[in-house]
Chains A and B, each alone.
Chain A
Amino acid sequence: QVQLVESGGGVVQPGRSLRLSCTASGFTFSSHAMHWVRQAPGKGLEWVTFITFDGRDTYYADSVKGRFTISRDNSKNTLYLQMNSLRPEDTALYYCARDVGGTRGNLLYWGQGTLVTVSS
């Protein structure tokens, strides 16, 4: 079955960097686009970023554009989120998610999330 496992979260000071990973299994990772979605504690969902199956195209929420970079290594079945210049408002549970096959933006499979806390 499809599994997505996020890792790399932790406590980081404002202005510092962190890289999240999402390891996929149970499907052909290299054939599917992927997303990151975050949820601040006690708040709603915020779509963060998207990458095509081959990594050629990426899109970002305005709130992270220029600071976050999504990438993937299809040989390792792994999705990444490089987060630079972190701010307290980036504190959230970060989920990776995969689309319904053949569509873009219907998030069918989700990991359990990794928590990022930005605090001094």
Chain B
Amino acid sequence: EIVLTQSPATLSLSPGETVTLSCRASQSIGSYLAWYQQKPGQAPRLLMYDASNRATGIPARFSGSGSGTDFTLTISSLEPEDFAVYYCQHRSNWPFTFGPGTKVD
């Protein structure tokens, strides 16, 4: 099973700042990584898939990069609605797994 590690666990930021979230895989997963945003009481929302593709309706301030074992999600100029928990998830092989999440508050 591939283990995903996210860092940091929590980030305290202000609106307008730029944030870079990290996700590291225990072995190479190519570009098979997705990012999700989850707000309290809501289902997760797909932000990025296959490392760098924005999902439908996701603002351009969200961008993703990486391949192999190291991936990043960048949010440029944080908006108030961006404060949430962010998860990475791989689909390289079975079983799929999620990272533990990074809370942006």
Please report A residues at the B interface, Cβ cutoff 8 Å. Answer: 35, 37, 44-47, 50, 59-62, 95, 100, 103-108, 110-113
- Which 6 pairs from chain A and chain B are nearest by CB? A105-B91, A106-B49, A110-B43, A47-B96, A45-B98, A59-B94
A and B contact pairs by CB, cutoff 8 A, 7 listed: A44-B100, A45-B101, A46-B98, A47-B89, A50-B96, A100-B55, A110-B43
User: Interface size bucket, B side?
Assistant: 20 to 34
Please report B residues at the A interface, Cβ cutoff 8 Å. Answer: 1, 32, 34, 36, 38, 43-46, 49-50, 55-56, 85, 87, 89-91, 94-101
**B43: nearest residue on chain A (CB-CB)?**
A110
B67 to chain A, nearest CB (A): 16
Known pairs A37-B44, A47-B89, A103-B91 / 10 extra A-B pairs, C-beta < 8 Å: A45-B87, A47-B98, A100-B46, A103-B49, A105-B32, A105-B91, A106-B50, A106-B91, A108-B46, A108-B56
What is the number of contacts between chain A and chain B, taking CB atoms within 8 Å? Answer: 65
- B87 partner residues in chain A, CB cutoff 8 A: 44-45
Distance of A45 Cα from B89 Cα, bound (Å): 9
A48 to chain B, nearest CB (A): 9
A42 to chain B, nearest CB (A): 11
Q: A100-B55, A105-B34, A106-B50 are in contact. Are A47 and B43 (CB under 8 A)?
A: no
A47 in complex: contacting residue of B38, B95, B100, CB < 8 Å: B95
Q: A62-B1, A100-B55, A113-B43 are in contact. Are A107 and B34 (CB under 8 A)?
A: yes
- B85 partner residues in chain A, CB cutoff 8 A: 44
Distance of A50 Cα from B56 Cα, bound (Å): 22
Distance of A100 Cα from B49 Cα, bound (Å): 9
Distance of A104 Cα from B91 Cα, bound (Å): 7
- B96 partner residues in chain A, CB cutoff 8 A: 35, 47, 50, 105
